[in-house]
Structure 1
Amino acid sequence: MNRDSLNVYFIMGTLNSSEPLETLEKALKARITCFQLREKGEGSLTGEALESFARACQKLCKAYGVPFIVNDDVELALKLDADGIHVGQDDLAITEFRARAKNKIIGVSVHNEQEMELAVKSGADYVGIGPIYATKSKTDAQPPAGVDFLQKARSQYPNFPIVGIGGINEKNAAEVRSSGADGVSVISVICESPNIEKTIQALSGGNGNETK
């Protein structure tokens, strides 16, 4: 996976925004570099409603040339011919998904050295390391780990694509990048932003004052 694609990695489902498609398009216009559909939680979409929403997200991503990743749902990813899938430690094994979906992006959430090593050896295209800071977007998130493991992972795997996740915002994104991440993965900071363009510029290292 192109490490530049992890620069500003947006994750969202219908529960994260009152107008999710509008939020996604604003984020795409503001130059997010990757999008992951993560539809989880009580009241989330299922079945045909989920597929319809996913296709609408995918269409927007294609229009802006941004990779469309599906979280966890292997069958949906295959049905839509999504650009890739992101799995956790409890999800489908990387090797099994790779066997069913050639040339697709596979991302894996890792939390320690053992999981990192397994993800790399199993053929993951990138890893998400976190939660770096406390997060409100995942009720089942592990305790925040800070940047120590991120720094160690970058030292051990200097060229492997890594994105930081968990509680990242405009104020701490620079620390995540300087600790070794190729980019930052965020949910609420974009979904709740009153100025998505400015937020994304700040997350990507800009000061929010540039004109496009």
Structure 2
Amino acid sequence: MTPHLFCLVAQSDDLALLPALADAGVDGFQVRDKSLATGALVTLTRAVIDVVRPSGAQVVVNDRLDVALAAGADGIHLGTDDLAVADARRLAPSLLVGATCRTRAEVVAAAAAGADYAGFGPVFATDSKPGLPAPLGLSAVTAAAGVLPLIVIGGLSAATAAEARAAGAHGVAVIGGIWRHPDPVTAAKELVAAVG
């Protein structure tokens, strides 16, 4: 089942908070750290799995199917320049497979290729990832909804997460909405309530 709230995790985040975030109801964690070598990324992924899986949370790895398989993760999230969704589905039929999409047509294509969910965004303006295209807005979420579960990303807070759910999103993925908050666990609880 696709989580409703993904928290993106890098080595630089306060990993000691992960058990509390999972206990607060964060049901998905996406390991994304492009600065790490393969072995270190496997180690980080295993560490995340060890502390959040007891709460029932799922762990997916951004971009790297090899790391997801080596670490025993629950899934993989693929960007537009990564391994093709169809290849990931063939190589790892039991994993949760997500695909980055920006239009309904891309969501339809991802579904046909075997994706389980679509990462959709950025919906709102964000500075968590440089070089992103212009925000899509909530109308794009509504237009793309109904094909695959949409996990929207980009500039999300508890208030905007609730708006995204109302617009047709299955759930949200956040970086700054948790990690840049003065109290990440409180932020997570508010986000869980917003997408619940």
Superposition TM-score, scaled by structure 1 size: 0.85
Who is 1:25 aligned against? Answer: 19
Equivalent position SS for 1:56:
helix
Cα RMSD (Å):
1.5
1:166 maps to amino acid: G
Conserved? CA contact 1:106–1:125, under 8 Å: yes
Who is 1:151 aligned against? Answer: 142
Who is 2:164 aligned against? Answer: 176
2:8 maps to amino acid: I
Rounded to whole Å, the distance in 2 between the matches of 1:54 and 1:81 is: 8
Q: How big is each residue's C-alpha offset from its partner over 1:86-129, in whole Å with a ceiling of 9 and x where there is no partner?
A: 00111101111111112110001100122111101111000111
Rounded to whole Å, the distance in 2 between the matches of 1:140 and 1:81 is: 31
1:187 is matched with which residue: 169, 175, 180? Answer: 175
- Give the aligned length: 194
Rounded to whole Å, the distance in 1 between the matches of 2:151 and 2:43 is: 28
1:99 is matched with which residue: 90, 97, 101? Answer: 90
1:161 is matched with which residue: 115, 126, 149? Answer: 149
Equivalent position SS for 2:90:
helix
- Structure number, greater radius of gyration: 1
Conserved? CA contact 1:84–1:106, under 8 Å: yes
Who is 2:48 aligned against? Answer: 57
1:116 maps to amino acid: V
**What displacement does 1:13 show?**
0.8
2:26 maps to amino acid: I
**Unmatched 5+ stretches in structure 2:** none
Identity %: 34
Conserved? CA contact 1:23–1:191, under 8 Å: no
Equivalent position SS for 2:159:
coil
**Unmatched 5+ stretches in structure 1:** 207-212
Conserved? CA contact 1:77–1:84, under 8 Å: yes
